[in-house]
A and B are shown apart, each in its own frame.
Chain A
Amino acid sequence: MTTRSTQRGMAWLGSLMVAALMVGCATKPASSYDYTALRAAKPASILILPPLNPTPEVTAPAGVLASATQPLAESGYYVLPVAVTDEMFRQNGIHTAHDAQDLPVEKLRSIFGADAALYLEVQQYGTVYAVVQNDTKVELNARLIDLRTGDKLWSGHAVALDRQSSNAGGGVAGLLLGAVINQIVATATDRSVDVAARANAQLLTAGQPYGLLYGPRSPKYAADSKP
């Protein structure tokens, strides 16, 4: 009897251990992604270019650019100051993201001295207001290009969604009122900026499946840069 209960306990503990090991830390990127180019290039510094913005939301590039630095920096990369690089483009007559992203890599390298550049595209940005729920969505595409060679080192895609109920209670009038109230609140707090920060964190935090590898400043750098 004691043996059986001990055995059962052990089996349970064993499965817990396996689960803990499986959950563990998702630091090992999916093996299906080819990291050969990124591992060989070992970029230490990243220039984030002004994001392409095919959406009608004019504040989208600012919202996305403002929170793209944190996940990259916390993953161990030096990120050039985005407001300063943005200013640099403006002062040199580069007024659109298209113009900035079309510049030759040698030119970018000579001005900014970065090892790699992140080319972002905002695919969706903003809140869709509806009677039942309001969805704030930010969808991003990214490519990391080696500024020394022009080679693509990595690419990724992320969507972040914040869904809020418009239902303020009580019938059709309540539903409509809910939508109106939410719209005011959403505009005042700029929910899109928060959702953009989540999209950036999903997209640019190292160590996730298909994600970037850790940069040289991270304590985890050596661990996953080995082939």
Chain B
Amino acid sequence: MNRILAITARWGAGVCALALMVGCAGTQPMYGGWNDYQPQVYAYLKSQGELDPAEQIAKLETARQKMELEGKALPPGYRAHLGMLYAKAGQPDQSAENMAAEKASFPESTSFMDFLLRTFKGKAKP
């Protein structure tokens, strides 16, 4: 009897440990770079889009390289945000490239990216 109890207890302890270890499997973040991206989004919004695009491009490209090295996925919108900055900086090719990359990574963005490609192409500086 004692032996059965002991075995049951040990088994119970095992289940407990397993439950604690598994815990919340979904707590692993899906994307990296939020701490690089969100402050830039905040700065952009706060400036009403008036900040220097070249400066922000430099910061976001550095962060993108870092994330690629670490094998982290870029958050949704990251490439499109860069695409907008490139359009504002008068670099339509890089702009289109980033919009296309957003579309490839997130097909949900297709309709908006196509709309932006038309809009920014029309407004791109010569």
Residues of chain A having any CB pair with chain B under 8 Å: 2-3, 6-7, 9-10, 13-14, 16-17, 20-21, 24-25, 27, 44-45, 59, 61-63, 65-67, 69-70, 73-74, 76, 78-84, 86-88, 90-91, 111-114, 193, 197, 207, 217-220
Q: CB of B15 within 8 A of chain A?
A: yes
In the complex, A27 Cα to B24 Cα: how many Å?
Answer: 9
Q: Are B26 and A25 in contact (CB under 8 A)?
A: yes
Q: CB of B38 within 8 A of chain A?
A: yes
CB distance from A52 to the nearest CB of B (A): 15
What's the count of A-B pairs with C-beta under 8 Å? 132
Going nearest first, the 3 A-B pairs with the smallest beta carbon separation are A113-B111, A81-B77, A66-B42
Contact of A113 among B9, B44, B48, B115 (CB under 8 A): B115
Chain B residues contacting A73 (CB-CB under 8 Å) are 30-31, 75-76
**Chain B binding site: helix, strand, loop or mixed by DSSP?**
helix
**Chain A binding site: helix, strand, loop or mixed by DSSP?**
helix
Q: How many residues of B contact A (CB 8 A)?
A: 47
Q: Are A87 and B112 in contact (CB under 8 A)?
A: no
In the complex, A59 Cα to B102 Cα: how many Å?
Answer: 28
Known: A67-B42, A69-B75, A86-B49. 5 other contacts (CB 8 A): A3-B5, A10-B5, A24-B19, A65-B45, A73-B30
